[in-house]
Structures are given as C-alpha cells and as structure tokens.
Amino acid sequence: MRLAGKVAIISGGSRGMGAFEAELFVQEGAKVVVGDVREDEGRALAEKIGEDAVFVRLDVTSEEDWATAVKTAADRYGKLDILVNNAGVSARGTIEETTVEDWDRVMNINAKGVFLGTKAAIPEMRKAGGGSIINISSQLGLVGMAESSAQYQASKGAVRIFTKSTAIQYAAEGIRVNSVHPGPIVTPMTEARRSDAAVQEVMVSRIPLGRYGESEDVAFGVLYLASDESSFVTGSELVIDGGWTAQ
C-alpha cells in the first residue's frame, strides 16, 4: 500500500474531492483526520470509513481549530505525515461588483486557511522526520479568466507562490510542499455552474479533453504527492485540468 503507516489531515474533507481523498488514503494504508465545518457530513464519512478515520470540526480560518486537528492526529495516531489543504470556496463577479466582505471571505478561506494549516502542521511533521504538504490551488491560480472572480483567482495564485516559498524554507527538514491545480471538477462546489447550460458550454469549450474532471482524477495525483514515490518532488505544480492551461 502506498501510504502504509502514514497519518494525514485533509481539510474540507467531508465531501467532493476531500472525501474521495480521505477514502483513497485509507485504502492505501493511511490513518486520516477529516476536517470540515460540515459536521454531519464529516462524521458520517468518518463512520463509513471506520477506525482508520476520525472527524474534527475544522474552520480553516481558525488557529485554534487547526491546533485541535493536529493534536488529534498526534494523540490518536501518534504523528502527522501528510497535510492536504483542500478546503476552499468559489466566487463570481467583477472587481466592481466585489465587496470588501466578499474579498476577505474568499482570501481568508482559500489563502489564509492554507497558511494556518501549514503553520500548524510543520512542528508535528518535524517530529516525524519530515512530511508532505499538498495545497489545492486551481488552474485559475495559473491563468486568468474573465468569467471567474478576481478574489478567487488571486487566492489560488497566492496558494501557488506560498507553496513554493514553504517548499524552499523547509526542504532541509524533509518537508515537501507541492500545489495541485485542478481544472473544472464535478463536485458540490461546481454544481450551480454546471446546472447553467450557457456557463457549462463556456467551461467545457476551454477543456481540450471535452469534459469536467472527476474527484478521482485529482485524488490520484494528490496520492502520488502524499506518497514516498514523490520523494524528489517539492515546490512543484501538478496541473490536472484536462488541457485547459496548455492552450
């Protein structure tokens, strides 16, 4: 098994890509702390997985919640090897339509949440002799799109550069840090856009493979970065976008 003996925290782990990653990680031998603000869904997922998973309420903008998640991993499973900063929100609207509250909400969850999770995880990974941090960005952290929002794209671009900075700072301690850049994926977060035929047509027209991705398309890339198979990979960008950014 590719993650035998490893312990992971996955934020935003109650549904969508995070839930698929949690189940896949356990199938590959890991113990998983599922963190999310959706308590009912998170607890149900952990119960479905069994004793190799536990749920913690995790608001990624809260230092206290992150401290609890890391402590849960250490107390229950003895260490922390992997962090997947998966939690995120989307947004729409032009710059002029964006309020300060809109901007702050997206930046706090998508960018500040990654910073706080990374900061909380590093000391425990240091005790374990190293680890792997995987930050979920977006293809829109690499290129712009008029139909998206500036705050979403700025937040995902911030994740990309934060990843590189962290990778450089902690490489000597064996802590690897990489970003993943999914294109449009079939998840609850994209449901509203997918139900709008005009928007759906625009999105699919930009994907050379001609379809939205599925959660598993991303999860297997995350699994690779979490495993020792990627031991020489840090500060990199794994783009899983159906060819969107190749054009």
Helix ranges (DSSP H) in 100-194: 100-107, 113-128, 150-170, 191-194
Write out the catalytic residue numbers: 152
Report the candidate in 99, 202, 191 with the shortest Cα–Cα distance to residue 148: 202
The tokens for 59 are: 């608001």
d(CA 18, CA 13): 4
Provide, for the chain, the percentages of residues in helix, strand and coil under a 3-state DSSP scheme, each rounded to the nearest 5: 50, 15, 30
Helix ranges (DSSP H) in 32-146: 39-49, 63-77, 100-107, 113-128
- Inter-residue contact 153 to 141 (CB < 8 Å): yes
Q: What are phi and psi of 97, to 5 degrees?
A: -85, -10
